[in-house]
Structure 1
Amino acid sequence: MRNDREPYKIRLFLTSLLRTILNKPVGFDEAVRTTMRRIKLDKREKRSAYIHAYQTIVNYYGLKYLAEKKGLGEGVKAIVNLLEKLNYNFETYLELMDEITQEMPIEERLAKKYSYPLWVVKELLKHLPVSEVEKTLRNLNEKKRWARVNTVNATLEEALECLENEGVRFQRHPKFEDFLRITDPFYPIGGSKCFRKGLLIPEDLSSYVLVESVMKYVASPLLDSCSAPGVKLFHILSKNATLRAIAVDYSSKRLLYAVEILKTYVNQGRILLINGDSRILAYKNRFSTIVLDAPCSGSGAVYGDPSVKLRLSREHVRRYALIQYELMKNVIKQGENIVYTTCSILPIEGEMIVQRIYKEARAVLQDLVGDYIDPAYPGYDVSYKTFRIYPHKVEGQGFFISVLRGVR
C-alpha cells in the first residue's frame, strides 16, 4: 500500500525523468539513476518508480496525445497530470487508447496505440502486413529479461543452482539449454551474486540467436569493429577457445566498461582492445572475420531502452545510416567474411546499407540458416540473401543481419 507521500514522489520522479530524457542525450537506465540520486527513494519505492518510469517512456507518444485530447495541455506537466488522474494505472491507459483509436486509419491507430512516431509505422507497413507490424510494435514494448549461462566461468548446473539459492524464478529456453528467461522482467540483476560473479551474462535472446547463426563464418583473427560493451564478442569467445580478436570502439568510456566486463566474464589474454574509429582504421594484415555491430537508432531494442523512441526522428536515423555506410565501406576491404548487423527495424539501417555496398564493392552475399532467422524485407536487390530476426517471433529484439564475402 502506498504511503501518503508516495504519489507526490512518483509525480516528482516522473516529471524529473521526462525532462532529463527529453533534454539530454542519455539512455533510459542512466536517466533513471540520475533522477533517483536527486529524489530519495527507499528500496520498494525504487522498484515501483522504475516500473512506472518504463511504462511512461515506452508509452510517451500515446500519453502525450491522450493528455492533449483530454484538454490537459502539452508537455511534461500534462503527461504527469494525466497519469495522476489515471492513478498511475497503465492498464486503464491502454484500455482507453485501444478504445479511442478504433476508428482511426490503420497507420495512425498503430502509432498512437503502441506509441511510435507515425513515420516509423508507415515505413514498416511498406514491408510487412498489418498484423506483423502490430505484433512487432507490441512485442518491442514488452519488457523482458534474458540471460546466458557463462560456460567459461560455470557449468549449467552451477549457474541454475545459484539462481535457485537466490530465489530467482526463471524459465529455461526450449531450444537453447544455456539460455533462460528471468520471470520478473524488472528483476534487478545488478544485485545478484550470480551475475556479479560472472556465472550468468545479461544477453538479449535475439543477440544470442544472431551469434549462434554466424559461428560457421567465425575464425581467427577476428575484428570486432564496434565492440563495446562486447556482449556478442564475449559470446563468440565462449564458443571458440582458441580465437584471437581485436576489439575496437570509438567511445573510450564504453571501451573501459568493456574491460571491466572482460575481467568478469572472459579470458582477457586473447583480446586486444583499441580506442579508435573503424571508419578510418586500416590494418596491415587481413582478418578472417569482421563483426560490424554498427551503432544505430536502436529501433529494434525498445524494450532494452525505451528512450530510443523519443529520438526516432528521420534526421537522427539518417545520421546513423551515414555512419553505418562509412563503416561498411572501410571494413569490407579488410576481411574475408563481414558480419553486418544492427538492432534496427528500419530498412535504411539494414537492407539499404547492404544494397549500396553490394553494388559498389561487388561483394558476395553469404547464406545464413538458424532458428528464428527469417528473410529480410522484400523489395531490395539483396533481399534474397539478407536476414532479420523479428521481435514477436523470438520474444527478443529486432535485428537485421547480413554476411558478406569481403573484397580485395
Structure 2
Amino acid sequence: MEKNNVRLLAVEVLSRVGGRGGYSNLTVDSTIRQGHLADRDAALLTNIVYGVIQHQLTLDYYLAPFVGRRELDPWVRQLLRTAVYQMHYLDKVPERAIFFDSTEIAKLKGHTGIAKFVTAILRNIQRKGLRDVSAIQDPVKRLSVAASVPTWLVQKLFDQWGELEATALLNSINSAPHASARVNRTLTTREALVTRLQDRFPDVRPSTLATSGVVAPGGHLAGTPEFADGLLTMQDESSQLVAPSLALQPGDQVLDACAAPGGKTTHIAEWLDPAAGGHVTALDLHPHKVRLIEQNATRMRLADRVSARTLDARQAVTTFGEQSFDKVLVDAPCSGLGLMRRKPEIKYDKTIDDVQNLARVQAGILDAVAPAVKVGGRLTYSTCTITHEENQDVVAAFLQRHGGFRQVAVPTLAPVTHNHAAPALQILPHDYGSDGFFIACLERVE
C-alpha cells in the first residue's frame, strides 16, 4: 500500500487528532501538503476526515451490534468508522475499494488477524445492513444519535429552544458549510468582487444577511489573489453583523477587547477615518495572536487605523483609563457551539461545566471593561454560541450589576427576519445556514 493512500491517510489523521479535534483542520492541511495530494485525493481525504468527525456518534451506533463488547484499539475504531462512513454516506465510492483498502490498512497497521476481523465486520454490515436510528424511542437519545450530538447538549437545546426548534437546528448542522467572506469596502465593492470571482467560483453570490458578505457553496476563497491583496477576508455572515452593531462613527476610539485573529477588528477599522481621529485598539492575551491581528490589518491595508497589543482585556481600564473609548466590543471567549457545522469536533469537546465556567469568564470581562466606555458610548457583547447561560443570562446579570447601562436593539444594515432574543440578536445555525451567533448592545447612560 502506498504511503499516500487516501484511506490510510484518513485513518492516520483521525488517529492523531483523536480527542483533540480542534487540530483536525491543521492536520488535514499539513497532510495534504506533505503528501502532495492531487485535488481529487485531497477532496476525498477532507471529506472522510470531517465526515467521520461530524457523524462520529452515528457511526458508533451503527458499529455497536457488529463489534459487540470487544475493546478496539483507537486506530481500529477509526478504520471501521471511515469504512462505514464511506459505505453509508458516499454513494459514488465502490464498496470493493473500501473493503480492499480497509483490509490492507489493517494488515499494515496491525496484523493478519485484525485484517480478518475488519473484513468480517464489513462483510457482516454488507449482508445485514445498518440498524435504523428512527427506531430509538427516546427523542433525546434518537436525536443525539441522528445528529451525532451528546445527549446533554440535545437536552439543553430542548429545554431552551423547544423540541421543534432544537430538532431543526440539529438536523441542519451536518450539512456542508459554505465558504463565507467579507468584502473590504475601502478597496472595492461587493458587486465588483463578485464579478471578479465568478470565473473561478460560478456560484458565488452576495449574502442576504450581511451587506458586505459574499458566499460560495464550495471553493477555497482564502487561496485567491483577491484574498492576498486584501480585497476580502474570511468571515462568517453572522459574524459580520457585529461591527455594524457598534453604530460606528468615523472619529470613534474603539476597543476590541478579545480581538484575535482580527476579523472583527478589520471590519471595525473599515468604518473609521484616521483623518478624523478614528482608531481601533485590539487586544489579545497571546503575542502570536496579536501578530495575526497585525498581519490581517496590514494585508487589508488598514494598519493605519489599528493598534494591536498583548494585554488581558481585564486590565484595559488600568492601562487606558476610565471612559477612554466611544465603543467597546467584547467578542467573548465562548463554547463555540454555534460553529458545530463548520467545526464539528466542538460538540464532543464541550461539557455543561465548560458552559457554566465560560459564563463566569464572560461576566468578568464585561465587568472589567465597562468603566472604559464613555457616557453616551456603546458596549457590544457577542459570542458564537447558542446557550442562554453564555448569552441572555450574561447580559441580564450584567445589567443588574451596572445600572448605568441600558440595553438597546441591535442595529443591522439588512433586515434580519429570524431573531430569537430581541432586543438582542440570536441567530441559530438553521436560520440562514450560517454560524449560530449572539449580539447584545448596551449603552452607557451615566
Q: TM-score range by the shorter chain?
A: 0.7 to 0.9
Distance change >3 Å, CA 394–CA 240, structure 1 → 2: farther
SS of the counterpart of 1:364?
A: strand
Deviations 1:244-281 (A, max 9, x none): 11100112222211211111114211111111111233
Structure 2: runs of 5 or more not aligned: 92-124
What's 1:155 paired with? 189
Q: Which residue of 2 aligns with 1:220?
A: 252
CA distance in 1, matches of 2:130, 2:359: 33
Q: 1:246 is matched by which residue type in structure 2? A: T
Which residue of structure 1 lines up, in the alignment, with residue 77 of structure 2? 78
Deviation at 1:322, TM superposition (A): 2.6
> Does 2:400 align with 1:359?
yes
Contact 2:190–2:206 under 8 Å retained in 1? no
Q: CA deviation at 1:21?
A: 2.7
Larger radius of gyration: 2
Distance 1:38 1:311, change over 3 A: farther
Q: 1:240 to 1:260 in 2, by over 3 A?
A: same
Name the residue aligned to 1:380: none
Contact 2:181 2:232 in 1 (8 A): yes
Percentage of identical aligned residues: 21
The code of the aligned residue for 1:29 comes to: N
For residue 372 of structure 1, the aligned residue among 407, 413, 416 is: 416
Q: Name the amino acid aligned to 1:294.
A: A
1:64 matched to 2:99? The reply is: no
State the TM-score, normalized to the length of structure 1.
0.86
Cα drift, residue 352 of structure 1: 2.0
- How many angstroms apart in 2 are the aligned matches of 1:221 and 1:404? 17
Which stretch has the larger CA shift, 21-30 or 338-347? Answer: 21-30
Measure how far apart 1:175 and its partner are: 6.1
CA pair 175-325 structure 1, distance change in 2 beyond 3 A: closer
Compared with structure 1, are the counterparts of its residues 65 and 406 closer, same or farther at alpha carbon in structure 2 (3 Å cutoff)?
farther
After superposition, what is the alpha-carbon deviation per residue over 1:214-266, rounded to whole angstroms, capped at 9, x for unaligned? 43699711100001111122222223435311100112222211211111114
Aligned to 2:238: 206
- The answer to which of 74-83 and 333-342 deviates more is 74-83
Mapped pair 1:267 → 2:302: yes
SS at match of 2:339: coil
Aligned length: 394
Offset at residue 291 of structure 1 (A): 0.3
Aligned partner of 2:340 in structure 1 is 302
| RCO higher in structure (CA 8 A, sep ≥6) | 1
The match for 1:245 among 280, 286, 290 is: 280
1:97-116 maps to which residues of 2 (within 5 A)? 99-116=132-149
Report whether the alignment pairs 1:118 with 2:151.
yes
Deviation digits for residues 154-178 of structure 1 (CA, Å, limit 9, x no counterpart) = 2334422321343553123346554
Deviations 1:355-389 (A, max 9, x none): 22222223321222443275546xxxxxx633311
Letter paired with 2:260: A
Unpaired segments ≥5 residues, structure 1: 378-383
SS at match of 1:153: coil
- Taking a change above 3 Å as real, the CA distance of residues 16 and 348 of structure 1, as seen in their structure-2 partners, is farther
RMSD: 2.9
Q: Deviation per CA, 1:49-95, whole angstroms, max 9, x where unpaired?
A: 112222111212222332224326554522431431454542679xx
Alpha-carbon separation, structure 1, partners of 2:402 and 2:283: 23
Which one of 369, 372, 385 corresponds to residue 334 of structure 1? 372
Any idea what the Cα deviations from partners look like across 1:81-121, whole Å, max 9, x if unmatched? 1431454542679xx88932344311111111111111111
SS of 2:309's equivalent in the other structure is strand
1:402 match = 440
Report the CA distance shift for 1:89/1:9 in structure 2 as closer, same or farther (over 3 A): farther
Q: If the length of structure 2 is used for normalisation, what is the TM-score?
A: 0.79
Counterpart in 1 of 2:224? 192
| Residue 210 (structure 2) pairs with residue 166 (structure 1) | no
Over residues 187-231 of structure 1, what are the superposed CA-to-partner deviations in whole Å (9 max), with x where a residue is unaligned?
A: 223322122222222211111233334436997111000011111
Aligned-partner residue type, residue 311 of structure 2 = G
- Give the Cα–Cα distance (whole angstroms) in 2 for the partners of residues 398 and 197 of structure 1: 29
Which one of 388, 391, 400 corresponds to residue 426 of structure 2?
388
- The one of 292, 317, 321 equivalent to 1:257 is 292
| Alignment correspondent of 2:104 | none
Which position in structure 1 is the counterpart of 2:321? 284
The letter for the 1-side match of 2:285 is Y
| 8 A Cα contact 1:224 1:245, kept in partner | yes
Letter in 2 for 1:144: H
> Shift of residue 29 of structure 1?
1.6
